[in-house]
Amino acid sequence: MHLGADARKREIYEGNPFLADERGGKKILSMKTAEDLRQLLYSIDRKGYPAYKGTKGSYRFGKYVLYIDHVQGDPFAAPSKLHVEVSGKTAGFPEQLYDKKHKRIALQDHLTRLFEEQARKYSFQAKGSGKSGILSVTRCGQEVLERSACALNPANGDIIVRFEAGFPANGRTINARELIKILFDFLPECVEKSLLYQNINSAKAQRVMELSEDQEFIRKELSKRELVAFVADGSVLPRESGISQRPMKGAVAFASPESMRVTMNLPYKGEISGMGIRKGITLIVGGGYHGKSTLLKALEMCVYPHIAGDGREYIVTDAAAVKIRAEDGRSIKHTDISMFINDLPNKKDTKAFYTEDASGSTSQAANVVEAMEAGASAFFIDEDTSATNFMVRDELMQRVIHRDMEPITPFIERMGAIYERFGISTVLVAGSSGAYFQVADKIVQMDRYVPRDITEAAKEAAAEYPGLSYPQDGTPAPEYARKPKKNPGVFHKGRIKIKTMGRDGVQLGHDTVDLRYVEQLADSEQLTCLGYILKLMEEDGFDGKKTVQEQIGSLLAQIEKKGFAAIVGKEVRNQGDIPGNLAMPRREEIFACMNRYRGLKL
Ligand code: ADP
Ligand code: MG
């Protein structure tokens, strides 16, 4: 017995970098204690930095288990990756705070914020060279997203928080005493103050749950009442600045026009009123600077829930609504854009349109069709970011340039049929053309940030003008038959490198996927997650039979079952194999990312 323990110690003390607590999912060593870790750290103090590698493993602290999952190679490299696991019994969160998926995500989000608040206080309190002393966890924005930083197991209430720490050094010499500060003084405080129910503000946690329930209630109401979106009276739509997503101070609060006002009785907040945007075609007009784009932007982002105090927490948009815009220069891979574009002078096939450098109109056409393929329920379009010739062709132009000579059937001529045939609504911001009046079901004017229902007056005015003529082809359904070419994938998984470029894109090997114009991505961690998804698909290969739609469909089924574990390419054997910097994108953005990936062979 003692001999075994000695051998084990020796193995640890010699800094074996591959000593792991689990092999093949089976624990082969009994768990080490915090005291073991402390001894180990003393023993490697002042050694060369690589001796830190030997700390990899798991250690039982009083109320949680600390896992050191990955140790950085030197003090200037990306910080080490760790996680803590608190058992449900110890954490003690009442089940009613997480017994539904939306509640669980809201609670995880809340706990991540609490943990972050603590960690921030201690970050760089331990000193040293390079990244020594960093203590950090994901910083959440205004949206509530499912993130890998914090996972709560709904079966037993166990909580995991994944975070980073910069293992301290002087130069490249281990300063173990500083790491002891982090792991034995700071971290226990972080855990105590954020992950134990008895120590946190329980009223606040309760309100997080209540808001999440109310938001979910509104979401369900949307479908019952045939609404695309609900914007509560009193909401604050504009943001503080181009670089801050906080609410603008002193903004004009939202107030629904009487004719569009709906009331709901939320389970916790009680009665609430606001503007209901019905399915069909809604036009938002008004003078420049009157708040049109701000309203649309709020609708776009409210496919996600927002935190209390954001100003948009009672704005809820159909979760499958997609922003559509022009995107010159994107690549298009065999997308059937023939419902908008036909008979190009260069005879290019628009049923399987291919380009590495799309124009404004072809890119916007592809964006529409690809969103349909992804299952979009509504389109949000702002003329500020649209290709004019894709959106509308006025009557005079129609007279001069005959339909037969114009490859583009503009969106305005398809909008009605897209709703009637495919059930996809459109919310369109357009201040420049009255041509939309005839096709819109509802016309809202933004007047000094206050919406007014001007449907009747606008329709009356429009009746005096000659109408546009519409194509008589019944709006053919696009084909979603694109198939990635057969490709066995790679044998050695994990070889393809991915890199997230902030909110702008992801790099997969040598390919950059530009996601700047996929506007409903809320967080760079969603992009990181998309990077993993592309990598997974490339590494697993394609059977040559599944369409893009089917391929993503089966991935989504896996994600539904296994969460982030389904996304991380290599086999996930323990929680340390899942990185702590992922946020779940929507299916719509998974499609958008695949469609912009130039490396995909079709
Ligand atoms: P439009 O699209 O109609 O030209 P924007 O939506 O871009 O107008 O808004 C113009 C400006 O007004 C922006 O700077 C925005 O922040 C500000 N703004 C929008 N809504 C409000 C509001 N409710 N209260 C105060 N300022 C607002
Ligand atoms: Mg605008």
| Predicted local distance difference test score (pLDDT) of residue 6 | 42
pLDDT tens digits, 570-597: 678 889 999 999 999 999 999 999 999 9
Say if residue 19's pLDDT is above 50. Answer: no
The minimum-distance atom of ligand 1 relative to the CA of 239 is 16
Q: Is the pLDDT at 135 greater than 80, yes or no?
A: yes
Query: If you average pLDDT over residues 407-420, what whole number do you get?
Result: 94
Greater confidence (494 vs 206) lies with 206
Question: Are the CB atoms for 195 and 86 separated by under 8 Å?
Answer: yes
**Residues facing residue 65 across a β-bridge:** 60, 85
Q: Looking at residue 12, what is its pLDDT?
A: 35
446 alpha carbon – ligand 1 mean position (Å):
10
Closest CA to ligand 1's atom 25: 251
Q: Whose CA is nearest to atom 4 of ligand 1?
A: 289
**C-alpha 350 to ligand 2 mean position (Å):** 31
The residue nearest atom 15 of ligand 1, judged by CA position, is 238
User: Which residue is closest in CA terms to ligand 1's atom 1?
Assistant: 289
Q: Which atom of ligand 1 is nearest to the CA of 287?
A: 3
pLDDT in tens, 49-73: 999 999 999 999 999 999 999 999 9
pLDDT at 25 over 50: no
Amino acid at residue number 490 = V
> Position of tokens 């945007």?
277
pLDDT band for position 17 (cuts 50, 70, 90): very low
Closest Cα to atom 9 of ligand 1 = 291
pLDDT in tens, 416-438: 999 999 999 999 999 888 889 99
Residue nearest to atom 11 of ligand 1 (CA): 289
Predicted confidence band of residue 558 (pLDDT cuts 50, 70, 90)? very high
> Among 289, 381, 386, which residue has the most ligand 1 atoms within 8 Å of its CB, making it the best to mutate?
289
Q: What is the pLDDT of residues 536-555, one digit of tens each?
A: 999 989 999 999 999 999 99
pLDDT at 30: 67
CB under 6 Å to ligand 1: residues? 237-238, 248, 251-252, 286, 288-294, 446, 449
Please tell me the distance between residue 288's alpha carbon and the centre of ligand 1 in angstroms.
9
**pLDDT (0 to 100) of residue 20:** 34
- Which ligand is in closest contact with the Cα of 248? 1
SS3 486: coil
Q: pLDDT tens digits for 275-327? A: 999 999 999 999 999 999 999 999 999 999 999 999 999 999 999 999 999 99
Q: Report whether 573 contacts 25 (CB < 8 A).
A: yes
Q: Ligand 1: which of 294, 312, 386, 452 to mutate, most ligand atoms within 8 Å of CB?
A: 294
* Of 353 and 15, more confident: 353
DSSP sequence for 207-255: HHHHHHHHHHHHHHHHHHTTEEEEEETT---SEEETTEEEEPTTPPPP-
What does the alpha-carbon distance between residue 165 and residue 295 come to, in Å, rounded to a whole number?
41
- The closest ligand to the CA of 289 turns out to be 1
Distance between Cα 383 and ligand 1 center (Å): 15
**CA–CA distance, 99 with 93 (Å, rounded to integer):** 11
Work out whether strand 22-23 and strand 26-27 pair parallel, antiparallel, or are unpaired.
Answer: antiparallel
DSSP 542: B
Six-digit token pair at 293?
Answer: 């784009």
